[in-house]
């Protein structure tokens, strides 16, 4: 049978964009009370502190402590109490900061604490400890550490340890021990650096060992090329250029040192001039006080002299008055004597007439 119907269209309507209600992901729909917020987990910390800030906090914590071993170790233990693993990177960065600030005692304390925990037992740690002991003047402990490291790692001891011990003995003037370390280097087949060769040559010249000095220069002649690390790259430099570079660096350092010395001298001169001015002001004040005292003394002396002169004048007036009274009395006596004499003469003449 034929069926008359309209054919269905292939696409009746275009697909309309369905709007989906976006709800926050951190909300859960509750049947009774609606959406409620979900708070982050306890173990997910949003604020993450990096190793640099932690190392700076460790440095500040260590600097505020005294030199008592128990106090330092207790503070360091409390600092790493909540760490899941030993924070070796943080301690290494803190040691680098302390080394730049030349806090040798704090470096020794932190390294010994770290070694007591069984952490960081590397040659770099031992070298920083050796350097700190040498810079702090604790030569006996440095020698003990050196002998222990050299006996444990006879053939694998790095050259920087030999260089450090030779430089320490050179600055302390301990030539025999310096020769012993250099002999150990030659037995192990280690080529000494230029600084070590120069130090040994200076000692041989100072002690008058010219034969050994010549043998040293023949055995280890100055190299023509040397490698330096400039901005992280290994660069080959001639010795002449290197010497010029060292001279310029020395000149810059000397200029800085001279500027510092001049600034210190200028500050000292200013301090001296200020002291002189203060002393002059104090002298003036003292002179003013002394002048006032002298004026008071002079005025008092003048007053005393005036009073004494007045007394003298009074005494003279009294003397004059006494003299006047005495003259008057003598005159009276003389007049009375004259009258008596006249009276007696009159009586005598009258008797004679009779």
Tell me which of 109 and 34 has the higher pLDDT.
Answer: 109
Count of CB atoms within 10 A of residue 95's CB? 25
Tell me which of 237 and 42 has the higher pLDDT.
Answer: 237
Which residues sit opposite 228 in a β-bridge? 235
- Any idea which of 98-102, 165-169, 349-353 has the lowest mean pLDDT? 349-353
> What DSSP letter does each residue of 300-319 carry, written as one string?
HHHHHHHHHHHHHHHHHHHH
Q: How far is the CA of 131 from the CAs of 35, 94, 102, 161, 164, in angstroms?
A: 64, 16, 11, 9, 8
Chain CA centroid to CA 192, Å: 36
- CA triple 229-230-236, angle to 5 deg: 60
Encode pLDDT of 154-196 as tens digits. 888 999 999 999 999 999 999 999 999 999 999 999 989 888 9
Tell me which of 286 and 80 has the higher pLDDT.
Answer: 80
Tell me which of 257 and 59 has the higher pLDDT.
Answer: 59
CA distance 12 to 18: 17
CA distance 125 to 266: 42
The beta-strand segments (E) located in 4-99 are 27-30, 34-37
Between helices 175-188 and 194-207, what is the axis angle to 10°? 130
pLDDT at position 332 = 75
Which letter does DSSP use for residue 66 in this model? Answer: -
For domain 51-222, give the CATH number.
1.25.40.10
What percent of the chain has a predicted confidence (pLDDT) above 70? 73
CA distance 226 to 291: 77
CA distance 10 to 73: 83
Domain borders along the chain are: 51-222, 223-330
In the chain, the largest separation of any two C-alpha atoms, in whole Å, equals 239
Encode pLDDT of 232-245 as tens digits. 888 888 876 555 55
What percent of the chain has a predicted confidence (pLDDT) above 90? 36
The phi-psi region of residue 126 (left if phi > 0; otherwise alpha if psi is between -120 and 50; otherwise beta) is alpha
């Amino acid at each position: 049978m034929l069926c008359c119907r309209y054919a269905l269209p292939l696409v009746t309507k275009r697909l309309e964009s369905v709007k989906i209600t976006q709800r926050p992901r951190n909300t859960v729909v509750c049947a009774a009370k609606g959406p409620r917020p979900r708070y982050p987990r306890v173990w997910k910390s949003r604020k993450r502190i990096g190793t640099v800030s932690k190392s700076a906090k460790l440095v500040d914590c260590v600097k505020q402590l005294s030199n008592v071993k128990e106090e330092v170790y207790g503070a360091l233990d409390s600092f790493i109490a909540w760490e899941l693993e030993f924070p070796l990177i943080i301690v290494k960065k803190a040691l680098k900061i302390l080394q730049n600030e030349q806090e040798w005692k704090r470096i020794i304390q932190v390294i010994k604490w770290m070694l007591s925990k069984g952490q960081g037992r590397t040659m770099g740690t031992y070298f920083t400890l050796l350097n700190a002991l040498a810079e702090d003047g604790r030569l006996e402990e440095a020698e003990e550490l050196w002998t222990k490291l050299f006996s444990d790692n006879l053939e694998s001891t790095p050259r920087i340890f030999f260089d450090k011990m030779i430089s320490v003995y050179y600055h302390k003037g301990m030539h025999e021990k310096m020769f012993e370390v250099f002999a150990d280097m030659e037995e192990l087949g280690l080529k000494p650096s230029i600084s070590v060769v120069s130090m040994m040559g200076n000692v041989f010249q100072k002690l008058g060992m010219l034969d050994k000095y010549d043998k040293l220069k023949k055995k280890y002649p100055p190299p023509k090329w040397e490698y330096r690390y400039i901005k992280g790259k290994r660069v080959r430099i001639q010795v002449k250029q290197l010497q010029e570079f060292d001279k310029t660096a020395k000149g810059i350092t000397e200029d800085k040192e001279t500027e510092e010395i001049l600034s210190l001298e200028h500050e000292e001169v200013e301090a001296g001039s200020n002291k002189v001015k203060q002393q002059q002001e104090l002298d003036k004040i003292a002179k003013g006080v002394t002048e006032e005292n002298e004026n008071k003394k002079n005025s008092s002396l003048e007053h005393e002299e005036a009073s004494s002169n007045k007394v003298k004048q009074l005494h003279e007036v009294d003397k004059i008055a006494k003299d006047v009274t005495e003259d008057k009395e003598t005159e009276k006596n003389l007049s009375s004597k004259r009258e008596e004499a006249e009276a007696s003469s009159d009586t005598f003449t009258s008797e004679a007439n009779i």
